[in-house]
Amino acid sequence: MLINGVVADSLPASDRGLAYGDGLYRTLEVLAGQPRLWRWQWQRLAADCAALRLPCPDEALLLAEIATVCAGLPRAVAKVVLTRGSGQRGYAIPATVQPTRIVSAAAWAGYPAERAAQGITLRWCSTQLGLQPLLAGVKHLNRLENVLARSEWGDPAIAEGLMLDSDGTVVEGTMSNLFWVHAGQLFTPPLDRCGVSGAMRACIIDTARQLGITVAEQRVLPAELLAADEVFVCNSLAGIWPVRQLDGRTWQAWPLAARLQQHLPAA
């Protein structure tokens, strides 16, 4: 682990990331020292920094630190955390901000291969996402809604849970973005009121359009999602997981999801 470029494993108790969740993070797969989907990861990190008015780190510096922490690991999971650094007591943003940059890595543990090939079982979560357009899409450090939603089940046969917003529309999974297919068209919920805009979500949208697949953002109710021709979830580590079962509804084939799986960038 590197903290501001130095090998360390602790932060001051005054860091605003700890005190207020004042920061953001990205999690990414690293192959032979090279972060996968970096184009989309960097775009999202820069956009999130702008949304939080947080100074964005130098791209070359960040890549060098990712390579350092992943050295000796042929396949790794890297995590980049940026906070607004330490400050005096109170919510006000300090006049002079000295961000804290944390870059860490762990050996790749992976997911069962059958999830991508055979599909997964989902459940509905009762924990809802609050509406806050100013933070919508940002992968900020306050993920308590997701933590509480994920704590709702312990059954290993259920791979993921879907979360609704306070208006009752489906937004995302606890750790994933959501897509569905209707009449050959690909849909995903807009993330203008809540939710996390993931790098894999952006990659899938770009890849689908390159393949000539129409993609649209659309709010969806649970009953409408259950009527879809295909449903799948995604994130940067899992890739695409087709949904086999949700709330008594079963899907047995996912032709569009399989096509996208075959065409996702390798790097």
Which of the residues are catalytic? 27, 139, 172
80: Cα within 13 Å, side-chain hemisphere = 28
Chain position carrying tokens 């790098």 = 199
- With left for phi above 0 and alpha for psi between -120 and 50, is residue 33 left, alpha or beta? left
Convert 166-198 to b/e letters by CB count within 10 Å (16 or more is b). eeebbbbbbbbbbbbbbeeebbbbbbebbbbbb
Beta bridge partners of 104: 79
